Amino acid sequence: MQTPDPEAPASAPSVSSALALPHPQEELLACEELAQRTQDSGFRWMRFPQPLEQRFEGDSTRARVGRFRFYGVVAIILINLFGLGDLTMVPDVATTAILLRLTFLTPVITVISVLLARPWFSRNREWLAAFQILVTALTLNLVVVASHHPNALHYHIGVMVVSIFGVILVRQRFWFAMGTSALISLIYTLGLYQMPGLPPEVRSNAITVLVATVIICLIASYQIEHDLRRGYLQALLQRIKAIRLRDSHDALAQLSKSDPLTGLANRRQLLEHLELAWNIALRTASPISLLFMDVDHFKEYNDHWGHQAGDVCLAAVAELLSASAHRSADLCARYGGEEFVLLLPYTTIEGALPLAQRIRRLIESSAIPHGHSPVSAVVTISCGVACLTPTPDRTSADLIDLADRALYQAKRNGRNRVHAAI
């Protein structure tokens, strides 16, 4: 059936190209060179270059906030458990010591643990952890200074426990651990000098034990963070490598299913897509239409303009065809040579014919010079349209064959026209 063209040729509409969205892992891939260089050169000062440091802190936020909140609960339990010892160790200030633990330290740690769920507090978690550790050490030091009982001297053990807790369990970042440990040592040393009648040799021994503990803890802190950062770099580079491999695999898969000249699907992908759409349509009793198109007198175009210009022509035609496939289920493919196919699932012949005419006019109005076509001075196409509703006794190849025969008839009737198979 030859379909009339009720509209005059119109000028080609401009095709808006979609804005390219950044790959969700583009920023991660951009870190590859910096991460590799950092791993090779090392990080003796416990700091990565700034972009990598920001990613490291961002990636570890959730785990570290969870760690801080968990050990906040542990700290509350231990602080109040050790408060029982105040009754026998410093009976003269036991009430004050217990009140400090219950009404000051416990609420402070509880509030900070709750607030860590907030973005601002989670970003400043290292400062908050340092603050909690220092407040705990300062509270113990106040008990030492306030008490006149001989047992108060032994509170240096509690201060050491605070230092070990912050470095080993909470795992402060190395520089924060160094800062808080230095302040804890200073606070405790000043407190010892406030204790009247304390023999110098006893004071010196207490300070020596505390300093030795701090040094051991800082060495452990350095090693823990060094291993953590090295493991992070290794994991980061492994993630990037996995992404590269996956992208390479996807690219190879895409190449195997796309036409390198036009970027459209190739015949292999078309046949796979058609078979899938055919099976779905068979279950739902839905129609499938197929447009089979051929560039008119393309051999003469190549002979006159050359094969390189012919490739440019095919790419331009492909771009116009691709712009005409608006639905996600539609598929535009290069079938071979100058032949193109547009697959239209869920489309009747009444829906496919107007689209075929629009495509034909669109290519004609694009005014690509031909010069040696007996049909027109510009590049045109012939199009065969077929539509089938799949049944068990038919195959998807029947649809292609029907559209191919319709294309042959369109060319036989003079080209630059659409013919529908009945």
Tens digits of residue pLDDT in 255-291: 667 888 998 999 989 999 999 999 999 999 999 999 9
Of the listed 33, 57, 201, 338, which one is catalytic? 338
What is the rounded distance in angstroms from the CA atom of residue 96 to the CA atom of residue 83?
Answer: 11
Q: pTM to 2 decimals? A: 0.59
Q: Could you give the 3-state DSSP secondary structure of residue 339?
A: strand
pLDDT the model gives residue 254: 62
pLDDT the model gives residue 252: 63
Q: What digits encode the pLDDT tens for the residues 181-232?
A: 999 889 888 888 887 777 888 888 888 988 999 999 999 999 999 999 999 9
Average of per-residue pLDDT across 303-315? 90
Q: Is 338 a catalytic residue?
A: yes
Q: Out of 6-15, 107-116, 179-188, 282-291, which region has the weakest mean confidence (pLDDT)?
A: 6-15
Q: Are 182 and 134 within 8 A, CB to CB?
A: no
User: Which of 277, 274, 366 lies closest to 11 in space, CA to CA?
Assistant: 366
Structure tokens at 187: 């606070």
Phi/psi of residue 292, each to 5°?
A: -110, 115
For 99-121, b/e burial (b = at least 16 CB within 10 A) is ebbeeebbebbeebbeebeeeeb
The strand pair at 381-388 and 418-420 is best described as parallel
Q: Are 243 and 25 within 8 A, CB to CB?
A: yes
Q: Could you tell me the CA-to-CA distances from 53 to 38, 56, 97, 233 in Å, in that order?
A: 11, 5, 41, 11
Q: Which helix (H) or strand (E) holds 68?
A: helix 50-82
pLDDT at 341 over 90: yes
Helices (H), 83-118: 86-89, 94-100, 106-115
What is the rounded distance in angstroms from the CA atom of residue 108 to the CA atom of residue 79?
Answer: 12
